[in-house]
A and B are shown apart, each in its own frame.
Chain A
Amino acid sequence: MRLVILIGAALAVLKLVCPVAAASDFEIVASGPYFSTQESSETFDGTNTGTLPPLLDLTRVEGGSFRATYRFPSLAPPSGQDVVYSPGPPYGLTSFELLDSSGLVVYSGGDPFDNFINVQDNDGSIPFRSDQVFLASSIGTVTGADIPTPIYSSPPDILLNGGFNFFGPVNPDINYTSDLAIPTDAVTYLSFPFQAFDFIMVFGDGDYIDRVGPYQYVDVQLQYDVTALTVKQVVPEPATMALLVVGGVALMLSRRAMCNIMRIGLIGSVAIMAVLLAGSASQAALFTYAFTGEVTDVSNPIGLFTDPAVVGVPVTGSFTYTDNPNQGSFSLNDNFTNYSHIETPRRHRTCYQHWRHGGALVRLIAIQHDHRR
C-alpha cells in the first residue's frame, strides 16, 4: 500500500516537474523558402538618437529557408466561428531552424511556452469571410543571435515568437475548414492560399515602450513560405515509457529490495518536495480569487458585446494578482498608488483571469506579454 502511495507521489511529482504528452498529440513538421524581412531599431540616450545593429545576420538568412516543428494536443472543438486554444508545455513550437542559402543552419531554438492556437471557421461577414489556422508560441531559446548589451534594464526584455499562419478567404465555392478543430492532416493546411512561418525577435532596454527616457530598441520579423508540410501522430515520450518500465521492474523485485527502494523513494520524494517548496517560496506570491455576480448595466451602442450582455445575466470568474509586480509602482496623488506587472517571455507564473458570462465561458486571458496589471 505504501509502495503504491509512494509510486503515486513520485509520478505526481514527475508529472509536475516534467509534463509529458498524451498519445493523441500531433506534430506539424514544415519547411520552406525565405520570403521577407521587417526590422526596426532606435536608441535614445537622453540627448541623442541612434540605432542598434540587427539582431540576426540578415545577409545569411535572406535567401535561405526554415524548418520547424509545432506540437499540439487533440482537443474537442467548440461550436462557433472562432476559438483560441492555449495548451501549455510540452506543446508549441518545439523546434525551429533558420538556414542560409546553402542549407547550413544559422539560427535554431525552441523551448516553447505561452502557446496560442487560433482557429477560425467561416469567420466574418461576406465578402470578408475567411478560414484561418494560426499556431504560435513564445520561444525560450535561440542560438547565435546578436543580443545587444543592456544599459538601462536588468534584465532587458527579449521577446521571441514564432509560428505558422494558414489563411484563406471563403466563398460559396471555396472552404478550407469545416469546424474549429485543429486540422490533423497535411492536405487541409496545404490547401490554404496563404501559408507562412513567422519568426519575431524583439530586444527592449530602458524606457522603450513610452520612449520618453533613455532606451534601446531593435526588432526583426522574418517570414517564410510554407512549401512542404507533414502532420504525424506522436507516440508517448520515452520518459513516460522509461517510467513505466522502472515501475514494472520494481514490482518484480524482492520485498527486501522493495523496502530499500521505498526508503530511497521516500527520501527522494521528500527531497524533491523540499526543493520545489523552497523554489516556490522564493517566487512572488500569487493570490487568486473566484467571484460570482450579476450584470447591472450595459451600454452597447454599436453591438460590440455579444448577445448575453444584458442586465441580470449571471457573471462568474476569477483573477490572480501578485504582490511583487515586476514593473514597480507610481503614485499620481496622495490617494492611490498604481502597480504594474508585465508578463515576461520567460517562464514566470502566469497571472490570468477568466470570466464566465451567461452560459458561455469567456476567457479574457492576456495572451500577449505586454498586458499590464
Chain B
Amino acid sequence: MTTSSGTALGVLATSGRWRRPRRVSPWLPFLAPAVVVLLVVGVVPLVTALQMSFTSFSYVLPGRTGQWVGTDNYASLLGNEAFLGAIVRTAVFTFSAVLLELTVGLLLATGLNATGRERGPLLGLLIIPMILTPVIVGLMFNFALNPQFGPIASIIRGASGSSVDVLGSPVGAFVALILADVWQWSSFMALMLWAGMQALPASPLEAAQVDGATTLQRLRLIVVPMLRPVIVVAVIFRSAEAVREFDKVFVLTGGGPGSASEVLDLFTYRVAFVNWDMSLASAMGIVEFAVALVAAYVFFRLVTRGGREA
C-alpha cells in the first residue's frame, strides 16, 4: 500500500491520482461518541487550565480579574519554596512507598506462587485492601494511630513504654502516610507479580533447584530478572498513582504537622481552593500534566510493545 516516496506530491507523481479517495471510516459511529465526550470533559478543561495559567485570576483576591500576565505564574513557581518542597516530598513518598510495595509484593507473590490450588481464599483476602475507599483507609489509620485509644498506637505504647503521638511528629506523620499506602497497595503489586510468575517457563527454575540453589537465590538470580518487564510496568503504574496521592493524606495528616507531609496534589488543592489562586494552581497543574504525559508515554510503549498486549 505504501509508496516509495512519502510525500503527497510523490504519490500524485507515481500514481497519477490521490492514493486513497477520502471516505468516512466505518468505525466513525463507534468512536465518535467517546471522542466527543472526552473532548468536552477532558480537552476543554485542559485548554481552560492552559489559558488560565497565563492570566491572573482569583475568586477572592482583589484585582485579579483574569488579566494576561504571560509566563509570570510559571516564573513564580521556580522560586516558590513551598512548591519545590512539595515536589521533593512527593518524590520521597513515591519512591519509598513503591519500593516497599515492590518488596512486600514480591515476597507475597513468591509465597503465593509456591502454594497450590488451595490458594483461592487467599486471593479473596488479598484484594480487600486495594479496593477499599482510600478516604476510609486514611480515616481508619487516623483512628488506629490516635494516641488515646488507637489500636496501633497502643501497640507502640506497649513496645516503647510511653504514649506516642505518631501523627503529631513530622517524621511520624510522613512515615504513617507511606505505610498506609504500602498497606493498601502491596497486595496489588503481589497480584501483578504473581500473574507474571505464572507465565514464566518452569525449566530454568527446576534446573536451579537441581543445582541446589536456595529459594532466595532463585528469586534473586532467576525470577526477578525474568520478571523484569512485569516489574517495570507495575512500578511505573504504581508510581503514577502514588505521585497523585491526595485522598489518604487529606484525612490522615492533612499535610501536617506544619507542611511535613504536604504532597504535590494537596498543595495544589490548597493553592486553588484555600488561597483561591486559580491561575497559579493551573500553572502547577500544567507542569504536572507535562510530567504525567511523559510517564504515560513510557507506560504506553511498554504495554503495547510490538502491537500486542503485555
Same complex origin of A and B: no
